[in-house]
Amino acid sequence: MKLGRGTLVYGAGLATVCLLVAAGVNAQAPSNQPRDQRPQLSEEAFKNVRVLRGIPVKEFMGTMGFFSASLGLNCTDCHGGASASDWANYAIDTPLKNRSRQMMAMVKSINDANFGGRPYVTCYTCHRGSQRPKVIPSLAAQYGEPPAEDPDEIEVLPAARQTATPDQILDKYLQALGGPQALAKLTSFTAKGSYEGFDSDFIKVPVDVYAKAPNLRATVVHMAGGDATSTYEGREGWLAAPATLAPVPLIPLVGAELAGARLDAQLLFPGQIKQLLTNWRADFPAATIDDHPVQVVQGSMSDGTRVKLYFDKASGLLVRQTRYATTAVGTIPTHIVYSDYRVLPGLDVKIPFSWQATWVNGQYTINLASVQPNAAIDAARFAKPAPSR
């Protein structure tokens, strides 16, 4: 990933937080449950949060990534250089934060007046990765070659000629992995490898992965400052990070983040992939990723979140997953790239040995070095992790 002004100091789903204090957004609390049974809310975790209140910490972090993607800025651009050395300094007001409050009030007013309050207009609508929106048309852009289309933005074309059904594409994928019968024999695995991301300053550090069918997963990244852990135990999920990486030691997952963690765990054992999503469709236009033709299939998670799966047209293997989450300021994408498929020892089954996850406030890559299939794994591995210190 190209690093520059848009770089955020985030990673591993355990992203550090830009504490923008914005105004003009209505947010709803996720539940009326007792405090110890619901996720920590933004105003409970951070100081000087004035309007982005009543939303879980993880969603609050996503809104920070949304602003960064929209403006092409990073944390310290908005919060000042002092924020890099002390979490408390994120709460200090700066000119850009004050301007952001005005802009968000403006965006809210536009959406309330014209779109029933739905976020049809967002920061990204005008800024498109630039701090200053362009107001004069570019003749070079008008008459030049159009930029390549982002595969994540490809949408269904009902009138398009469908060359394969979702069932056919998914069946080809299962066969490419070894076939349904062989996949059924893989019930768990442990793995060791390397991790590199924004939070490790792109230095490779050790990582352990634990997975058990049908939907249990744990990842432990051994950072220099302490372990960063993510777990999903079949119903609930959590992220725990040391204080050097995040001001919140333990984050419970909710909403689209929880649904995404469940899907990621399930896709490690894809024999039942057809049952993981509903409303399957494959009427997408032709698409390519890295100059390779892909077939796109879309389904919906139980909460209605759309998921796109991209399969290499030649090999049939899954090369990308893209899903979308709604935040208080707009919809944000997450995509995971799968590569380096290898046959597991003792089983005629392939799995990807490399995963790269990218979202608006972070990116990381896991490369596996060794995998032990059908290993015995203590259930405690998938339990709620202890808050990091």
Domain boundaries, the chain: 152-382
**For residue 170, pLDDT beyond 80:** yes
Region 352-376: mean pLDDT is: 95
pLDDT digits (tens, 9 = 90+) for 145-155: 988 888 888 88
Spell out the residues 6+ positions from residue 201 whose beta carbon is closer than 8 angstroms to its own: none
Residue 37: which pLDDT band, with cuts at 50, 70 and 90?
A: low
More confident site: 141 or 339: 339
DSSP code per residue over 69-121: HHHT--HHHHH-GGGGT-GGGGGS--HHHHHHHHHHHHHHHHHHHHSTT--SS
| Gap between the Cα atoms of 77 and 194, Å rounded | 30
- CATH number for the domain formed by residue range(s) 152-382: 2.50.20.10
- What are the start-end ranges of the H helices in 218-286? 255-267, 273-276
**Both tokens assigned to 365:** 């890559």
Helix (H) or strand (E) holding 167: helix 166-177
Residue 207: which pLDDT band, with cuts at 50, 70 and 90?
A: very high
**Both tokens assigned to 49:** 């949060």
**For residue 16, pLDDT beyond 50:** no
Q: Looking at residue 23, what is its pLDDT?
A: 30
Evaluate whether 301 touches 277 at the Cβ level (below 8 Å).
yes
The model's pTM: 0.85
